[in-house]
Amino acid sequence: MRKAESRASVTLIACIVTFACSRQKQNSDDVAAPQFQRGDRVLVESSAANFYEAQVLGVETSKLRVQALPSGDTALIPVSDVYRLSDKPSQLPHPSLAICSSQKERWFGCTITSADGGGAEVSDIDGLTYRLSWNQIIQPNALTELNLKRLFDKANEQHDFEQELAHAGAPKTTPGWRPMPGKAVLARIEGKWWSAIVVSEKREKFRVKFLGSDRQLEVEHADLASEPPYPMEISQKSRFALLRPTNPNLPWSTVRLVSVDSLESVIESVGSKRRTVPVRDICPLESIMPSRPFP
């Protein structure tokens, strides 16, 4: 009898503890979770550091059904990806990352560069600056702030890369090379280099036919370069190169040379990771900046 009573007591205590813990967790969640209701105007982070304004259509546990403005598209969004636009604006320190709006319903990542009681000076990833009031600026949560940091870091890297590529010159000269009728060449037209074939020569003028089309033009000797591959000793001293396009109707693009051997080269281009290409697909360029060794 006593054993049965003891077991019943233990069971009762376990139930009480379980109920209390469950109730405590529920109360904690109720306090921590933002409260939204139908009709609220909100800001949604749809993907990393990308935002759109919306209106709440309904609340479903930990998610909101929202309608994007002004498109009218609907979506079911986790509450953690939503900011309430009706919240009282607060002054943020500088420098700091934030979410900004320079015009109706358009929100973007920004950096606060200076601030006062009336608002702040901010800049976007393109370096454009704005003077905004505090109700046009939202403080990001920890995850959004990390996404914004990555966005600005990538933009800065791309800007630096483009600035460096601006120092790339014309293709390097191969000793003794001269364009000959029937030979493949690179031809410069309006600052870009294209794949072509030499058709004829007359008084140091070369008529070329561009690959992938019937277009023909006369160009100067200085606007022609030999088709790769180039001698390895020339390529290894180059910091930049032209990369052969996958479509002959497109111009050759400028890339940065990381390393070169007898068969392959490692290159970097704007907006893409390092990759390996055959040496026959790169044309080494002169540099109009002091050269430095490969990293």
255-268 pLDDT, tens digit per residue, is 999 999 989 999 98
For range 36-57, the mean pLDDT: 93
Output b/e per residue, 78-104; b: 16+ Cβ within 10 A.
Answer: ebebbbebeeeeeebeeebbbbbbeee
Q: What is the pLDDT of residue 14?
A: 46
187-234 pLDDT, tens digit per residue, is 999 999 999 999 999 888 999 999 988 899 999 999 999 999 999 889
Q: What is the pLDDT of residue 120?
A: 94
Class of domain 168-287: mainly beta
pLDDT band at 289 (very low <50, low <70, confident <90, very high): low
pLDDT band at 166 (very low <50, low <70, confident <90, very high): confident
Class of domain 88-157: mainly beta
What is d(CA 208, CA 219) in angstroms, rounded to the nearest whole number?
A: 7
* Residues in Cβ contact with 10 at an 8 Å cutoff, skipping those fewer than 6 apart: none
Domain 30-86 has CATH 3.40.190.10: no
Give ranges for CATH 2.30.30.140 in the chain.
Answer: 30-86, 88-157, 168-287
DSSP classification of residue 250: S
- Taking all residues of the chain, what is their mean pLDDT, rounded to a whole number? 85
User: Are the CB atoms for 278 and 268 separated by under 8 Å?
Assistant: no
110-165 pLDDT, tens digit per residue, is 999 999 989 999 999 998 999 999 999 999 999 999 999 999 998 888 888 888 87
For range 58-68, the mean pLDDT: 92
Is the peptide bond preceding residue 70 cis, with omega within 30 degrees of 0? yes
What is d(CA 56, CA 79) in angstroms, rounded to the nearest whole number?
A: 11
pLDDT band at 34 (very low <50, low <70, confident <90, very high): low
For range 62-75, the mean pLDDT: 92
